[in-house]
Structures are given as structure tokens and as C-alpha cells.
Amino acid sequence: MTRLFNDPNDFADEMIEGFALAASRWVQQVPGGVIRTTEAEEPTVALVIGGGSGHYPAFGGLVGTGLAHGAAMGNLFASPSAHQVYQIAKAADRGRGVLLSYGNYAGDVLHFDQAQERLRAEGVDVRTVTVTDDIWSAPKHEIHKRRGIAGDLAVFKAAGAACEAGYDLDGVERVARHANARTRSFGVAFTGCTLPGAAQPLFTVPEGRMAVGLGIHGEPGIDEVDVPTADGLAALLVDALLDEVPDAVDPSGARVVPLLNGLGSVKYEELFVVYRRVHRLLEKRGLTVVEPEVGELCTSFDMAGLSLTLLWLDDELERLWSALADTPGYRKGSTEARRRVVPVLREAADASVVPESSPASRSAAQLAANALEAVAEAIDAAADELGRIDQVAGDGDHGIGMQRGSRAGAGAARAAADRDAGAGTTLERAAEAWSDRAGGTSGAIWAEMLRTLGRHLGDDQPVTARVVAEGVTAAKDAVMSFGKAKVGDKTMVDAIVPFAEQLATRISDGGRLRDAWGDAAVAADRAAQATAALAATMGRARSHGDRSIGTPDPGAISFALVCRTVHGILAAQPTLTPQKEN
């Protein structure tokens, strides 16, 4: 378990600060994560990687010459926010374009895609390559749905070396996609990991048993078997990966890079015992082993487990894999001295400056701040239960993420409302803060809902029940477009849709907002509870779909809780009719 921490809520921030100080030869901290301290003589394409903290050396430890130019570092096991990714990409960009690369997780995709859209709107050429190396997370015909685990390093290394070699953005993107297509990984665990301050690990495995096909965020394995010998485990890993040789590869005499990755508490000596057999088995199958790596490459706190990755080489990939690299967490060969880089950072907006607003909008902003403060209190009380529900088929961090996001959102909303901001500005600032602190899929979705609703309410127009209902409907549509989920996928959308539809119907029929919201909250709660009968088809829980049957979706449950809490605030306020202002 993780023993050394101060306030668990500050762990990631304090870890990033300490890491940047300790690794100042390679990296410097900027808002959102870290970037290189040095740069090449001539500008190159910038490789920006990222993900949740808790996986060192991924992701900050892979920033340096020959690898990444910057890493967006989210909270523990939670994706960095779109704002964090944007800030890192802006700081790392040298005018030749930016490649974003990260593991294929729903929250990361949502946030990185948002950042990409923002950068493109500013004229920056940005591309994305997600890593999909985990063979157990989806079948071969759905390879695009697979998650990224330790194969991240293979893709990042190829792309980073291509940047260093002067490839243009088209070439760097091509190489990254090519490396991803030729990378396969498979992992096992003997125990789960325990986050700072948590009393229990995210999952447990019975003594003498081993979880097969685990994720790196505390997701339980797909299967469970008896713990084999070291040689038996080596055979299991090798056989699984050689059963799925990439389509373009002729395995006869092929060259491969094996990466044997320890997930946190398996000792190097144990890894070497396993690797001894892995190496011999690969040679026995007629493969040529090239520059293998054994050690901690992508960890999961104190998880006892390991994974094997195979990168199937061609001439170009071998050249890029063998190229020099110098980062805090991964080095190959020796590199020449570089000049120090001075980051160009975007000025942070002055939170004390707010746009002009109408009295009615300012009144609505105060109501929104009150509601968000009540929501933060309700989430605090429910966080443990939300985490327990999420642990059944996910990584168990939904409660923690909702706590972080709701607290930050409430604080930002109160600060804005007390400076006489209108409803639109208040909700938009709450959205930004929620996204930054929560990260993850739920952080992106709640930010999108709050932001969309805020834009509909504005700062100077009348705040009527009809406008609120239209804003909620727009938020529902934005979330469905944003996350690609639909009713029946066992996500938050299962509760959002009936809530928005019931609210719109009741307001259209002439109901007051307080009453209509209460009826809609009942519909959301009923729909959230009904997700217990569904199997998950999206997100991290998708790999454990049937396991989630009998347990409701945590995102839907937390959405219903928020709706009930907001209704309690509305019930104590003057009501809004469809046409009248507050």
C-alpha cells in the first residue's frame, strides 16, 4: 500500500512538484505537467504524451531528448483535463506541429480531443495517435477499442525518435501508427494497488490465484487462474502474444523487442527470472530478440503484477527503437548537450475579472453557486459508496473523481458569483475547475454539461425555466455527441436522457422549474437504478461487461444524486415559470 503522503487530495500535485525538482536536468514544471528543459538546435515536431498520475515512469518520466517533449499529468489514475493538455501542447510547440499520443481510455480521449480542437482553432497542426496494445481488452476485430498499457513506451519511443530525426508531422504520425499496429501486450496481477489514503486495494485476488488481463488503473482482470511458476507464467505470456501476430508481420525469422514490465511491487530479480524463460521461448519460436527492456516501464502504484509487450520490428522501427534517448525514467545510449529551453506560457485569465451581467443573471449565478456547494457536500457523503459501485467492474475511483471535481467546481462558482459574475460565466468557470481537478471521463462530461448550460443561460439574458430546460437539453445532446454513448450502454447517459426529456416536457406543459426539476430527478433516479440490469458496453467497465450486471452504473447514480440535491436547493428558492424571470 502507499504509506507516504500528506493530504491524499494533494498527492498528485505534490508528487509532480517533487518530480520536477528532482528531475530538473530533464524537465521543468509548467501548468498541466512538465516539458523538456532542453531543445534541439533546429525546431522539431513536438510529441506530447500524457495520462493519469500513478504510472511512473509514464508519463512525466518519459520526457526528454529522443522521447516526448511534454507530458500532461492528470490526477491519480484520472486523465489530465483538456486545459492541462492544451497548456502543455502550447508550451511544447515549436512551430512544426504537435502529435498527441496516449493510452486509449475514454477520459483521455475526451480531454485530448477537446484540447486538439482548441489548438486547431488557433492554427496549430495537431494529430493524435492512441495506443491500443492490450490484447485482452477487446477482440482483434475491435482493435480500435483496446486500451493502452506498457506498449505506450514502444509507440512513444518510435514517435520521439522520429521527431528527433527531423521527420515532419505526417511522418511522425505515420511512424506512431505503424508502431502501434505492431505492438501487443498482455498483463497479469497477484494483488491490486492501493491509492494514497485508501483503506483497501482497488481489487483483490485470492491467495494463490492470479488475475489475467488486468488494466493499469486498478481494473480487475478478465479471468483468474492459479499462480504458475515463473517459467509457466513466461509461457502463458509468450503463447498469448504469439497467438496474435500483427497482420503485416511474417513471424518466420521476425525481429521483436520484448518489454517485460513490472507494475509496482514485483522485484527486478523476479522479472529477470521470468525474462530468462521469455527470451528462450521467443528464440525457440525462431524470433530474433532485439534490445529488450526489463523493469518498471508503466506501473500502477504498488500493484503486484507484470506485463509482456512485443514490438514487431521492421528496418525503420528498429532504427527508431535503437536511437538515443535521455529522460528521467528511460535512457538509451548517450546524447549530446542541448541548450536550455525557455517555455512560452499562455497567460492565465484573471479570475477577478468578470464580464458585465444583468441583475437577474447574477441572482441565478448565486443560486447556481449554492446548488454546486450542496452538490459537493452530497458527493462527499456518497463518495465511498460511489467508489464501491465503480470497483465492481471499473477502477474504483469514480467517487474520488466526483469529490475532486464537485469541490473545485463549487469553489470556482462561488468565487465567480461573489464577484458579480452572471450565470453563464459562473457555470463556465465551474466547468473549467471541475475538469481540471477531476480529470477522467466523468470530469470531461460534467465540464461539458456545465459549460453548455452556462452558454445557454448567458450573463445578460432573462433566466427562465424554458431557457434552463433548453440548456439542459443542449447539455444532454452535447454529452451524447461528445462521448458517443447512447441509452442502454450503461453510462451516465442512461440517467441524463430521461432527466432532460422529463424536464423539457414538464416545462413545455407549463410547469414551474422547481416542480419540473423534481419530477425529472425522480426519472433520473429510476433510470439510474435500472442500469443494474444492464451489461456495460463502454468505458473501462466494458471489458468486464457481465460482471457489472446487478450493480448500477456509478456515473448514472452520481448524476441522479446531483439532480436530487439541486432540487432541494430549488425547492427553497422563488420559482421560475416557463416565461418569467427569477
Residues pairing with 211 in the sheet: 189, 224
Pairwise CA distance, residues 479 & 489, whole Å: 14
Contact 344, 91 (CB under 8 A): yes
Residue 338, domain member (yes or no): no
Contact 473, 508 (CB under 8 A): no
pLDDT in tens, 60-106: 999 999 999 999 999 999 999 999 999 999 999 999 999 999 999 98
pLDDT at 397: 79
Per-residue pLDDT band for 542 (boundaries 50, 70, 90) equals: low
Residue 3, domain member (yes or no): no
Of residues 217, 456, 544, 567, which has the active-site annotation? 217
Residues 386, 296: one domain? no
Residues 296, 433: one domain? no
**Span 48-66, average pLDDT:** 97
Contact 180, 132 (CB under 8 A): yes
Per-residue pLDDT band for 447 (boundaries 50, 70, 90) equals: very high
DSSP SS3 for 267 = coil
Nearest 10 degrees: Cα torsion 50, 53, 54, 59: 30
Residues 135, 220: one domain? yes
* Minimum mean pLDDT range among 163-167, 261-265, 399-403, 537-541: 537-541
Residue 330, domain member (yes or no): no
Per-residue pLDDT band for 279 (boundaries 50, 70, 90) equals: very high
pLDDT at 581: 42
Q: Mean pLDDT in the chain?
A: 91
pLDDT in tens, 496-534: 999 999 999 999 999 999 999 999 999 999 999 999 999
- In degrees and rounded to multiples of 5, residue 28 shows phi and psi of -135, 145
Nearest 10 degrees: Cα torsion 133, 139, 143, 144: -110
In the chain, the number of structural domains is 2
Residues 533, 477: one domain? yes
In this predicted structure, the answer to whether residue 390 has a pLDDT above a threshold of 90 is no
Residue 402, domain member (yes or no): yes
Cell representation of residue 384: 465511498
Nearest to 87, CA basis, from 385, 347, 272: 347
In this predicted structure, the answer to whether residue 306 has a pLDDT above a threshold of 80 is yes
Residue 370, domain member (yes or no): yes
- The alpha carbons of the chain give a radius of gyration, in whole angstroms, of 24
Type of residue at 114: Q
Q: What is the CATH number of the domain that holds 90?
A: 3.40.50.10440
567 is catalytic: no
Domain boundary among 302, 324, 346: 324
Per-residue pLDDT band for 315 (boundaries 50, 70, 90) equals: very high
Tell which wins on pLDDT, 217 or 581: 217
Q: Which domain holds residue 170?
A: 8-174+183-324
Chain position carrying cell 445557454 = 456
Q: What is the CATH number of the domain that holds 403?
A: 1.25.40.340
Contact 128, 99 (CB under 8 A): yes
Residues 163, 266: one domain? yes
pLDDT at 61: 98
pLDDT at 440: 83
pLDDT at 350: 63
**Residues in contact with 247: Cβ distance below 8 Å, sequence separation at least 6, in sequence order:** none
* Minimum mean pLDDT range among 99-113, 114-128, 218-232: 218-232
**Span 365-378, average pLDDT:** 96
Pairwise CA distance, residues 398 & 554, whole Å: 7
Per-residue pLDDT band for 582 (boundaries 50, 70, 90) equals: very low
CA atoms within 13 A on the CB side of 150: 29
pTM: 0.84
Residues pairing with 306 in the sheet: 188, 262
Residues pairing with 36 in the sheet: 27
Residues 471, 514: one domain? yes
Residues 279, 143: one domain? yes
